[in-house]
């Protein structure tokens, strides 16, 4: 399925990211919400956009610096004495 059922979809697309971040002016925010009441496609785009961001945030939080890499960094910087500080 493609976007474009409503002419406003294209117009509002560039604002959806700001809408998700809660950065939009009240008037534009209300316009998007009014539009979404009648546009299933834009609801899907907003939901999947939110999911996209949350997936990257969730998985990034579990990325850690391997202990061996940390030790090599301290050695390279000649900071070994602070490794276990």
Partner 1 sequence: MDNENRQQDFSLEKLRQGDRAEFARLVEAYSPLIYRLGLKMLNNPQDAEDILQETFIKAYQHLGDFDGRSSPATWLYRIATNEALMSLRKKRPELISLEEPLSDTSQPQEPMQILDWCCLPEEDYLTAESLEALDRSIDALPASLRIVFVLRDIQGLSTREVAEILDLSETAVKTRLSRARLRLRELLTTYFGDILSER
Nearer residue to partner 1 within complex by CB, 18 or 29: 18
User: Out of 25, 38, 71, 79, which residue is the one contacting partner 1 (CB under 8 A)?
Assistant: 79
Query: For the residues of 65-81, what is the DSSP string, one character each?
Result: --HHHHHHHHHHTT-GG
4 binds partner 1 (CB under 8 A): yes
What character string, x for contact with partner 1 (CB under 8 A) and - otherwise, covers 27-66? Answer: --------------x--xx-xxx-xxx-xxxxxx--xxxx
User: Which class for 12: exposed (0-12), middle (13-18), buried (19 or more C-beta within 10 A)?
Assistant: buried
The number of beta carbons lying within 10 Å of the beta carbon of residue 65 is 8
10 and 35 Cβ atoms separated by less than 8 Å: no
69 binds partner 1 (CB under 8 A): yes
What does the binding site for partner 1 look like in residue numbers (CB under 8 A)? 1-4, 10, 13-14, 16-18, 23, 41, 44-45, 47-49, 51-53, 55-60, 63-66, 69-70, 72-74, 76-77, 79, 82, 85
């Amino acid at each position: 399925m493609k976007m474009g059922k409503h002419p406003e979809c294209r117009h509002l697309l560039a604002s959806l990211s700001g809408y998700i971040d809660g950065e939009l002016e009240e008037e534009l925010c209300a316009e998007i919400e009014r539009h979404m009441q009648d546009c299933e496609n834009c609801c899907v785009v907003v939901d999947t956009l939110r999911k996209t961001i949350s997936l990257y945030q969730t998985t990034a939080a579990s990325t850690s610096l391997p202990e061996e890499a940390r030790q090599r960094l301290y050695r390279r910087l000649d900071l070994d004495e602070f490794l276990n500080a």
